[in-house]
Structure 1
């Protein structure tokens, strides 16, 4: 199989395209990762070089940009990742939302950068039965990758994704497919989540306000300016006392007066 060479100039052009399209920053350590992710696509298109791929991308940008971003982004996730977040939601966030929204009976959650859907479905399972039947409770889940959104809508997962799911929850909310050894979520959980493709850097069609936003392990891919702009937009679309949860390696600077820290990368709008 003929090897390809990813030149520095081609790499820089790819880095710039990815940043301009998605805000994702690829530093010098990602050279091998970019090569591995894109060389399969180049062979699939029967092109002869990365330079030829960039020419192809320029001519087919509407479709190929989606494929490029899908190839570059990492979608590693699982059910109930960082379980302390879901415990806090059940013990503190939901009771607070029940109290302050008792007049409107309206609740909105958003899983931003939802990947293959485990986070959004974990939230749906966690809050199951906690709101009265006559309340309007909706969970929105978005991702820039159209392929993972379609996968998430199916609600079908491997056993590895369910490592943090208790036996009780697995028996209650999942069906095992004996032929494929996969697990399908109960329709009552799948139907609680609405999946949409969304680039976080583009215009947001939803109006809000959201009571809680999960944006975990997403902002680590952005530069400082993009992070600040995204936090400003989150603040703007959150309920006056809404919550924002980030990933375990992410945090909001103390000088940011829009949010107060609740510990463990959990924040509340001031």
Structure 2
């Protein structure tokens, strides 16, 4: 009896070809995310919890919901479930050295009067990347009151954005922060030795906002640097080309674009030149 029940339970949540094709098309249209066939089991596993939460017995019912006027907030739940959020503080540390020496310090020497600097962390996940940027920024641009400095941190996943805005992380996560930054910018929580919180000085530098990179961007001003690491790997080549061109539009000439270790602009866009490993400078 238990064996039959388990077998029935497995069949109940099979993701059939028709439903998988619908989800692939839906996500591509709504977010630009491209899912290949080998991601089918991952999609199934991550969405089963949503089906159970909604009291649905199969993926056909779930797809019908997404295809109806009642989809509403479920699209957000779908995206939150599908997107992968793997990040840590000072991941790919050479990027932060480059930011300091090639973007921030030159600006410090060129602009003695309250200069303006804007950095965008696109696909910021749970916030470790923008906080890493903020630590470098606060260290270089001291006193910070003398600067008009801001980091825009965006992601499509609202759960991750809330974590970032709270600025609370496990002590294990904080171990990735270099000691000099950790001493200055990380605060122990009262009665909780397992978690830490980012200093108010950092939190004031960052604005966390939800943004779907596939849609219209509301920002008006240009950026000095954009971090978009391990995001473009979710998109097909035409979407990547369009995205990189939009980034060029949003950067000052000479501004920097930081990509993930598996990403490249080679053969993708002639508005950038290589500045360092997976770092590109806008040239036109």
TM-score (norm 1): 0.95
Partner residue in 2 for 1:62: 72
> Which aligned pairs between 1:198-213 and structure 2 lie closer than 5 A?
198-213=211-226
Q: Tell me, in whole angstroms, the C-alpha distance in 2 between the residues paired with 1:215 and 1:101.
A: 26
User: What secondary structure, in the 3-state scheme, does the structure 1 residue paired with 2:281 have?
Assistant: strand
* 2:56 equivalent among 47, 55, 79: 47
Change (3 A) 1:180 1:71: farther
Instruction: Give the 3-state SS of the residue equivalent to 2:261 in structure 1.
Output: coil
Larger radius of gyration: 2
1:13 alignment counterpart: 22
CA distance in 1, matches of 2:266, 2:195: 41
Match of 1:250 in 2: 263
- 1:140 aligned onto 2:133: no
Q: Find the partner of 2:247 among 217, 226, 234.
A: 234
Matching of residue 155 in structure 1 with residue 167 in structure 2: yes
Summarize the alignment of residues 60-139 of structure 1 with structure 2, pairs less than 5 Å apart: 60-99=70-109, 105-131=115-141, 133-139=145-151
Unaligned runs of 5+ in 2: 1-5
How many pairs align?
270
Which sits farther off after the overlay, 5-14 or 90-99? 90-99
The structural deviation recorded for 1:77 is 0.5
CA RMSD, aligned part only? 1.6
1:255 and 1:217 map into 2 onto residues whose CA distance is 16
Going from structure 1 to structure 2, the CA distance change for 1:179 and 1:164 (only over 3 Å counts) comes to: closer
Partners of 1:39 and 1:101 in 2: how far apart?
54
3-state secondary structure, aligned to 1:150 = helix
Q: Distance in 1 between matches of 2:46 and 2:211?
A: 22
SS in 2 for 1:24: coil
Q: Which residue pairs with 2:280 in the alignment?
A: 267
Contact 1:70–1:145 under 8 Å retained in 2: yes
Question: Structure 2 vs 1, CA of residues 104 and 174 (structure 1 numbering), >3 Å: closer, same or farther?
Answer: closer
Contact preservation (8 Å) 2:227, 2:257: yes
Task: Name 1:214's counterpart in structure 2.
Answer: 227
Check the 8 A contact 1:139/1:193 in 2, yes or no: yes
Q: Secondary structure at the match of 1:127?
A: helix
In structure 2, how many angstroms separate the alpha carbons of the residues matched to 1:34 and 1:245? 29
C-alpha displacement of 1:186: 1.0
Shift of 1:103: 6.5
Match of 2:218, SS state, is coil
Q: Give me the whole-angstrom Cα distance separating, in 1, the residues matched to 2:110 and 2:236.
A: 35
Deviation of the 1:152 alpha carbon: 0.8
Partner of 2:3: none
Cα deviation for residue 180 of structure 1 reads 5.8
